[in-house]
Amino acid sequence: MRALLFATFICASACSLVKGTHSSTVGGGDNTPSSSSEARPASSETASSGGTKSYWTHEDLQTLRGLTVEQATAKAKSQGFTGWIRTQVSSEFIEGCKPNTVCDVEDSHGSGGGTMADDGMMLYTNKPPVEISTPD
């Protein structure tokens, strides 16, 4: 039983790092993903109290789009998010997304659902456009 728990922990820890080859942690919280068997509230409204959320829905996460990484991090923390926040440059250029802003947000599991406030999120910024110039 101990070996199974250890193997599950190792896989969960390693699996959470697979996406972030160019990522960095911005903020607190540990790096251990939450168990997928945790009960999740149906919406952030039912989990909210006094302006803080204990659960962030997909819609809550998407409110960080268009902000700078610093603004998005500050907004999340001001609303009770205590988990890890990582940034990653998108592997492709995202048309319509301004430079140095959050273009997309994913929950800690990359499933498109939501995340507990003490778990984590990934902020994606735009890949710099390729500049083509002719030699002088």
* 102, containing H or E segment: strand 102-107
What would the mean pLDDT of 112-128 be, rounded to a whole number?
Answer: 92
- Stretch 29-50: mean pLDDT, rounded? 41
When the pLDDT of each residue in the chain is averaged and rounded to a whole number, the result is 73
- The pLDDT score that the predictor gives to residue 133 is 86
Do 107 and 89 form a contact (C-beta atoms < 8 A)?
Answer: no
User: Which of 2-6, 44-48, 91-95 ranks highest by mean pLDDT?
Assistant: 91-95
pLDDT band at 98 (very low <50, low <70, confident <90, very high): very high
pLDDT digits (tens, 9 = 90+) for 60-78: 999 999 999 999 999 999 9
CA distance linking residue 57 with residue 65, whole number of Å: 14
Domain 22-30+47-130 belongs in CATH node 2.120.10.30: no
Q: 58: how many CB neighbours lie within 10 A of its CB?
A: 14
Say if CB 121 and CB 56 are below 8 A apart. yes
Average pLDDT rounded to a whole number, residues 105-118? 90
Q: Place 44 in a pLDDT band, splitting at 50, 70 and 90.
A: very low
pLDDT at 123 exceeding the cut of 60 = yes
pTM: 0.61
What is the C-alpha separation between 118 and 130, in angstroms, rounded? 37
- Say yes or no to pLDDT of 103 above 80: yes
